[in-house]
Chains A and B, each alone.
Chain A
């Protein structure tokens, strides 16, 4: 199935070059793939996997190992950031 995978701020360095101007990558993943598995696939440092949203909704740390992705969903991840 296809999902959209987005990495922002300093995590965008983990995207392939062609995806850096959009921060987004269309990704083919197996059914029942979890958030944690995608984090592992892209070798994202755990301490930088801070804000995790699926279709804009926050996924708490404790649920990331069990939260499976569904067709068409967008997974977006940020390191610790803030603004104001």
Chain B
């Protein structure tokens, strides 16, 4: 079995920690991680619950391949009802924390209730206890990890924690593990904060055993690793340039949302690109990029480790930012950069460090700054209200607002709302580039039409990682499709959504799908787990998970009206590039998507669909 068959239930109100057997019937239907934890969640939590109330629960879950020999098998997810969106939230993270949870002998941890005082959960194999975290409250994720490792006298303890953003319930706060990996979206860190849960610290020595057919597993994982190594993207492109290589690609094709999506191309894109990260700075002769990095078990190693110029104005008096740490990935470089018109690479790197340090999502943060800058340019917000002159392009404003958000002071308290609530507060909700309350990332739906449907129908609010049709529409993986047309996109989006849900439930990274298909994943799961896992079964599993999430959202109050894009994308044509003159064709795609999904016009799964999927 890839599962440990054991889950940990932590009642924070009562201060109890109990072991339970994993529901193996559900494991056969939902596999693990995203799927299985969401099944537990929807069975146990009222969809109408206030996300920040004790009645909400939060689950940290591994997949059956987490902690195994499978490449990228280090993933875990945090499942809860997201405070940014009010929808189901499932945020996926790499690093080493997920594997450590498995090594300690647990498939998942379910947190419920609310602790009367700050605590952290210590897991050392079967020895599990809630410990006082009063001394950690108010600390950054970086300090929290250091203090816990020191107090445990064990540098190999793996820590996932919230920073001050989670404590202050910034609605897009993250859970940060291993210093710079994060379950980043939808505000899962704010839910931790609402429960007075500061961190989870794990040391696992049990290891992963019980693989169903060890020989077949070694054969399958070795073959799958060869596929990754032989593929030009996963074997060469991602290790060298990381995801940031997309900055110039997406800008050239006129699909880079810029200046809060007023424009689709950014003249400063090249300065903040993956190529620029490799270059020696004129100021100190050193490159921003120090090296690439891998999460547990990963044979791709797309991670970026960066270091800024110590004399850069933003850090010259802040030595804590002088060291090498997690660098810019594409989405963060876009949100902190192009979305705000900022082209200072070191400033963006520091802003990203602050997001990691105090645990908040750079996508939503950067996009919210973009909305603030637009309101500033309109005179809706003033220097006096924000605390600093904030025109598009101001790296100083970006960093000052980042510090304020991290520390929960001044305008940072308003930034904590995210763009949907903030723009509504000032009378301009149309300036929020969000769906279901969550900001969309780095691909403009006017230039990449499939991504519009991806954003509109994503169960966790606008997100690229629910169906990354960029792979097909831009990169030609698995086949090239025209990014400017809507025809065929509903089927493409649905296929990506279902396959992604399967990968997200396995314990492996979605980036493997630049080389792997379900045909590469299935043999690995089948060798690890009982039950006979085929490609067809995984595809159906993905569809089941997607519909389960949809049912939760519908019960939470979402309707077909929420499967839509900001008006700007439907009424203001792209000004430049191949998409010049185009708007998103979202209204044409949604009805066909519903039909293909087996949903009625209200966006509700038909009885036949539910019966077919066993829901």
Contacts and interface: CB of A to CB of B under 8 A. Distances in A.
B275 A84 contact: no
A14 interface: no
Nearest to A22: B270
Interface stretch (B57-65, B161-169, B229-237, B387-395): B229-237
Interface stretch (A30-38, A51-59, A65-73): A51-59
Contacts of B464: 84
Interface in B530-589: 577-578
Most buried by B among A10, A56, A84: A84
Interface stretch (B108-116, B179-187, B245-253, B363-371): B245-253
Contacts of A57: 253, 578
Nearest to B580: A56
B141 interface: no
B578 A83 contact: no
Given A21-B279, A83-B244, A50 B330 contact: no
16 contacts: A8-B275, A9-B240, A23-B248, A51-B475, A53-B253, A56-B254, A57-B578, A78-B249, A80-B475, A81-B238, A82-B238, A82-B243, A82-B245, A83-B242, A84-B246, A84-B330
B578 A55 contact: yes
Interface in B203-246: 231-234, 236-238, 240-246
B248 A79 contact: no
Given A79-B236, A80-B237, A81-B238, 9 more contacts: A10-B236, A56-B577, A58-B253, A76-B252, A80-B231, A81-B245, A81-B249, A82-B246, A84-B510
Contacts of B241: 9-10, 81
B476 interface: yes
Main secondary structure of the interface of B (DSSP, over half): helix
A82 B471 contact: yes
B330 A83 contact: yes
Contacts of A56: 252-254, 577-578
A47 B246 contact: no
Q: Taking chain A's interface residues, is the majority helix, strand, or loop, or is none over half, making it mixed?
A: loop
Interface string B482-524: 1100000000000000000000000000110010000000000
B137 interface: no
Contacts of B483: 58
- The residue among B245, B477, B480, B511 with the most chain A CB atoms within 10 A of its own CB is B245
User: What size tier do the contact residues of chain B reach?
Assistant: 35 or more
Interface of A: 6, 8-10, 12, 20-23, 47, 50-51, 53, 55-58, 60, 74, 76, 78-84
B440 interface: no
B96 interface: no
Q: What 4 pairs across the A-B complex have the smallest Cβ distances?
A: A83-B246, A83-B243, A80-B232, A81-B237
B525 interface: no
A82 B253 contact: no
Contacts of A55: 577-578
Interface in B236-287: 236-238, 240-246, 248-249, 252-254, 270, 274-275, 279
A84 B466 CA distance: 11
Q: Which of A56, A58, A74 has the most CB of B within 10 A?
A: A56
Contacts of A60: 480
Interface of B: 231-234, 236-238, 240-246, 248-249, 252-254, 270, 274-275, 279, 329-331, 464-465, 468, 470-471, 474-477, 480, 482-483, 510-511, 514, 577-578
Contacts of B234: 82
A82 B514 contact: yes
Nearest to B514: A82
A8 B232 contact: no
B330 A9 contact: no
Contacts of B232: 47, 50, 79-80
Select the residue from B270, B329, B483 with max chain A CB neighbours within 10 A.
Answer: B270
A80 B246 CA distance: 11
A60 B253 CA distance: 15
Contacts of B330: 83-84
Nearest to B248: A8
A80 B249 CA distance: 11
Nearest to B244: A83
A49 to B, nearest CB: 12
Contacts of A78: 245, 249
Contacts of B248: 6, 8, 23, 76
A9 B245 contact: yes
A84 B243 contact: yes
Given A53-B252, A83-B245, A10 B240 contact: yes
A52 B237 CA distance: 16
Contacts of B480: 58, 60
A64 B512 CA distance: 29
Contacts of B243: 82-84
A8 B510 contact: no
A26 to B, nearest CB: 15
A14 to B, nearest CB: 13
A43 B246 CA distance: 24
A21 B483 CA distance: 29
A9 B514 contact: no
Contacts of A50: 232, 476
A12 B215 CA distance: 43
B475 A81 contact: yes
Nearest to A57: B578
A81 B252 contact: no
Nearest to B240: A10
A83 B480 CA distance: 16
B477 to A, nearest CB: 7
